[in-house]
Amino acid sequence: MLAPRVSRRSFEEKNRLVLDGLRPLDAADLRVWEQGRDWLAARALADETGAVKRRHPRARVTVQAHLAGYGGAFTDDLGFGGVALRTHRKPPLKRGDEAFVRLKLSGRSVYVSGEVSWTDATRLGISIRGIHPGDERLLQALVCEKLLHRWEGLN
């Protein structure tokens, strides 16, 4: 895999700005962040041979969540394209059902809509179909923060 076109330090700085939400990134900063995000995502998705294992990167992240029509939950992991939720009892949803979730990310409420892609006794996976672009960046920045160990030894 090629080295990233941005430095880790520059990416981390832009990623922190996205996470903090104190000010929006200007066009140049956003391009730098997107380059780092895309490189990190590609690195996270490829195994040692370079073969891609899944469509979206994900990371173990535990945050509070609320599943509409059900109640409190928390995340097992977050990804660019989905979220795995853990509940206290079997959720009333099944594969293919529409789901709406509120996540608490960096002190902000992020609303996602999607489709249930799998369930088990106390968990369910939701493929994200709808999310505000600013909230999507926040979710991606949080995943990237957890994946930064992939940058080790490069720069």
The answer to whether residues 30 and 141 touch, using CB atoms and an 8 Å cutoff, is: no
- What are the φ and ψ backbone dihedral angles of 76, each rounded to 5 degrees? -90, -45
Q: For residues 11, 13, 17 and 23, what is the CA-based torsion angle, rounded to 10 degrees?
A: -110
pTM, 2 dp: 0.88
Q: pLDDT at position 24, please?
A: 85
Q: pLDDT at position 88, please?
A: 80
Tens-place pLDDT, residues 11-57? 999 999 999 988 889 999 999 999 999 999 988 887 655 555 678 89
- Domain borders along the chain are 8-55+135-151, 58-131
Bridge partners of 84? 77, 125
Compute the distance between CA of residue 2 and CA of residue 13 in angstroms, rounded to an integer: 21
Bridge partners of 9? none
Tokens 């509940």 -> residue: 87
Regarding the domain delimited by 58-131, which CATH topology (the fold level of the hierarchy) does it fall under?
Thrombin, subunit H (2.40.10)
Tens-place pLDDT, residues 102-137? 999 989 999 999 999 999 888 999 999 999 999 999
